[in-house]
Amino acid sequence: MAKQTNQAYENSNLFRIRHSTAHVMAEAVLDRFPDAKIAIGPAIDDGFYYDFDLPRALTPEDLSEIEKRMKHILKGNHKFEKEVISAEEAKKFFADQPFKLELIEGLESGGLDEHGNPLEEKPEISLYKSDTFVDLCRGPHVESTKEINPKAIKLLSVAGAYWRGDEKRPMLQRIYGTAFENPEDLKEYLWKLEEAKKRDHRKVGKDMELFSVSQEVGPGLILWHPNGGLIRHLTEEYCKKEHLANGYDIVYSPHIGRANLWETSGHLGFYNENMFSPMKIEEDEYYAKPMNCPFHIMIYNSKLHSYRDFPIRLAEWGTVYRYERSGVLHGLLRVRGFTQDDAHLICREDQMPEEIDEVLNFCLHILRHFGMNEFHAYLSTRDPEKSVGEEKDWLAAQDALKAALERANLAYDIDEGGAAFYGPKIDLKMIDALGREWQLSTIQFDFNLPERFDMTYIGEDGQPHRPMMIHRALLGSIERFMGVLIEHYGGAFPVWLMPVQVKLIPIADRHVDYSHEVAKQLKKAGLRVEVDDGNDRMNAKIRKAQLQKVPYMLIIGDQELEAGEVALRLRSGENPGPMSVETFVERALKDIEELV
C-alpha cells in the first residue's frame, strides 16, 4: 500500500500556473539584472522558486520591483511555446549560461534531471519561450500568461541555496514565490500562514511559559519552565507506565562514556562530526553520549544469555548530546541536547517479525494517546554502496518492516537506499505548523552493533548465536515531540496535559473565600486549580484565562455562593452554566479519562 507520489498535483492547472510564474519571474529578474545566470525554477508544494547567480544580494525592494515587473509581463498575454532542439543547438543557445550548460550535459549524457538525479530514459531537450524569456524546460506550462492572474501571485522570500544542493558548489540566490488560480486562494493561503505563526511552538512556548533557550546556557539547549516541565513530566509518566505494561525493562545509563566505548561502537569513526569534543579525566578521554545504544549493549553483555531470555526490551529516557551546526537549530525541533524515549529490542531471528509488529502497534498506540493520527510513514531500504551485513538479512528485515506497516494499515513511502549503513528502518514524520516534516518515531534494525560488541546468546543447540537488535524511539526526542505537540494543539492541550486545568474566577472579594474552598475540593479530586483572586473585573479574568487556554473557568458570584455551586465556562466559549461542584468534578475527570 505504498503511497502514491503526487501525480495529481503535477498534472494540475495550479502546478502549470506556478511553474509558468517561475518563468515570468526569471524574465523579470533578467530585466533587472541582464547578466544574471539562471539555474532552475520548479514549482513546489506551496508555490515555486527560481535560483539565480546575481551580481549583488537582493534586497526587499528588489523583490517588490520584480513582483511589479512580473505583473506587468503577465498582462502581455504572452504564449508559452515549446521547441524541441538538439543538445548542440541548446548549448549554443545557452553559451553564456553555465548552469544551463551543465543541465544540458546531464540530459545529453544519458539523463540526469535538474537536481542531478538519474532519469530512467534519456529525455528530449526542449525550450519554452514566453515573451523575451527562453528557458531550458520540459514543461508543462499554461498556454499563455493570461491564464495567470496577476493578483494571485506573490513573491515571498529570498534564501541562499547551493547549486545542485551541493555545499561545495556556489551558493545562488533563491527567490520563493507562490501563485494561485485566483486572488481569494492566495489570500487564504497567506491568512493560513499568519495563523500558523500563531501556533509556532516558540511563540506559544514563550506565551505559556513552557520552555526557554538561554544564550548564557548555550544554543540548542532547552530549559523547561514549570509549565512545560509539568507537561513533559506527565508525558514521561504516561509513557513509562505503558512501557512497563508492555514488556519493557527500564534502565538508566550515564551521560558520558570513555573513548574506548565509542571506538568499539564505531561512533568515533562514523559519527564523530556530530559529537561534542571529549573531556579529559585522569588519563582517559570521555565523550558526552550522542546515543544510548552502547550502554544498553553493555547491560546486555554483562551476563550470559539463553535463547529463552528473549525478547529483551531495554528502555531508557536517555539524554543525548549531538553537535548540530549552528544554522540548523530550531526551537525545540532541532536541538543539541535532547532526551530520547529510547529502547533496544533484542531477540532471536524467528521472533523478529512479531517483535516489529508489536513495536509498531505500540508506537501508534502511544502517538494516538496524544491525539496524533496523521503522520507520514517511510520505509528506508538498503544502499548497497554503504551497508554492513548480509543482503539476505537486509531483505528479510525490510520484508518484516513492510509487512508490519501493511498489517498496521499505514500508508507509507519507500525511501530507496535511504537506510543507515547498519540497517533498514521505519520512520514516522509529523508536520509542524508551517508544514515542515519532522521525524519523531523510528524503528530500525542494527546489523552492526551486535557484531561490534560481539553480542551473543546460547541457543537450543548449546552454541553461541548472534541476536537481532532493533533500535527504536517512539516520541523520538521528547523536545521535538513537545514542539510538535504544542503546534498540534496550538497550546490548547487536552485537559490531562494542561498545567492549569481549572481557573476559579470570583466576581467580587466576597466570593474569594468560597472560591478557595471550592479549589481545595477540586485539588482533593486531583485537579490542577488556580484561583484568580486579583482585583480585576470578571471580564478581564476570563480574558486572561482564555489566553492561557485554561480548559475550565469556574465563575463564582452571589448566585453560586448562595447555591453552593460553580458556573462553568469552557475555553471553547461554550457556557454550560451553573452546576454543583460534584457534577463539575465528575465532568472534568471524565474529560481527562477520555483525553478531551
Partner RNA sequence: GCCACCGUGGCUCAGUUCGGUAGAGCAAACGAUUCGUAAUCGUUAGGUCAUGGGUUCGAAUCCCAUCGGUGGCUCCA
User: What is the set of active-site residues?
Assistant: 293, 322, 340, 342, 344, 425, 471
User: 95 vs 547, which CB is nearer to RNA?
Assistant: 547
Distance, in Å, from the CA atom of 501 to the CA atom of 524, rounded to the nearest integer, reads 14
Residue 569 found at the interface with RNA (CB under 7 A): yes
C-alpha cell at 260: 574506548
Given 14, 30, 329, 589, the residue binding RNA (CB under 7 A): 329
Residue 57: CB atoms within 10 Å: 9
User: 47 vs 150, which CB is nearer to RNA?
Assistant: 47
Residue 342 found at the interface with RNA (CB under 7 A): no
Residue 345 φ/ψ, nearest 5 degrees: -100, 125
Answer yes or no: are the C-beta atoms of 37 and 53 closer than 8 Å: yes
C-alpha cell at 57: 544580494
Distance, in Å, from the CA atom of 73 to the CA atom of 552, rounded to the nearest integer, reads 56
Q: For RNA, what does the binding mask look like between residues 175 and 204, x meaning CB under 7 A?
A: -x-----------------------x-x--
User: 127 vs 555, which CB is nearer to RNA?
Assistant: 555
Answer yes or no: are the C-beta atoms of 421 and 388 closer than 8 Å: yes
Residue 324 found at the interface with RNA (CB under 7 A): yes
Q: How many helices (H) and strands (E) does the chain have?
A: 19, 28
CB of 502 to RNA, least distance (A): 14
From 10-18, 26-34, 163-171, 457-465, span contacting RNA (CB under 7 A): 163-171
Distance, in Å, from the CA atom of 342 to the CA atom of 362, rounded to the nearest integer, reads 13
Nearest alpha carbon to residue 431 among 296, 289, 333, 506: 333
Residue 98 found at the interface with RNA (CB under 7 A): no
Long-range contacts of 321-327 (CB under 8 A, 24+ apart): 321/255, 321/275, 321/276, 321/288, 321/289, 321/290, 322/274, 322/275, 322/276, 322/290, 323/273, 323/274, 323/275, 323/276, 324/220, 324/274, 326/219
Given 84, 119, 159, 596, the residue binding RNA (CB under 7 A): 159
From 128-136, 154-162, 224-232, 365-373, span contacting RNA (CB under 7 A): 154-162
Q: Site size for RNA, by CB under 7 A? A: 70
User: 305 vs 503, which CB is nearer to RNA?
Assistant: 503
Residue 485 found at the interface with RNA (CB under 7 A): no
User: 213 vs 299, which CB is nearer to RNA?
Assistant: 213
Residue 158 found at the interface with RNA (CB under 7 A): yes
H or E element in which residue 582 lies: helix 581-593
Angstrom CA distances, 450 to 415, 459, 539, stand at 25, 16, 63
Residue 498 found at the interface with RNA (CB under 7 A): no
CB of 464 to RNA, least distance (A): 27
CB of 187 to RNA, least distance (A): 20
**Residues 257-316 close enough to bind RNA by CB under 7 A:** 270-271, 274, 291
From 67-75, 246-254, 364-372, 533-541, span contacting RNA (CB under 7 A): 533-541
Answer yes or no: are the C-beta atoms of 331 and 223 closer than 8 Å: no
Residue 384 found at the interface with RNA (CB under 7 A): no
Angstrom CA distances, 147 to 17, 20, 156, 444, 566, stand at 8, 10, 21, 48, 60
Residue 434 found at the interface with RNA (CB under 7 A): yes
Nearest alpha carbon to residue 555 among 579, 526, 590: 579
CB of 472 to RNA, least distance (A): 12
**Residues 6-35 close enough to bind RNA by CB under 7 A:** none
Q: Which residues in this chain contact RNA in the complex, by CB under 7 A?
A: 57-59, 157-162, 165-167, 171, 173-174, 176, 200, 202, 206, 213, 215, 218-220, 270-271, 274, 291, 324-331, 334, 420-421, 434, 436, 439, 442, 507-510, 534-540, 542-543, 546-547, 553, 555, 557-560, 567, 569, 573, 575, 577-578
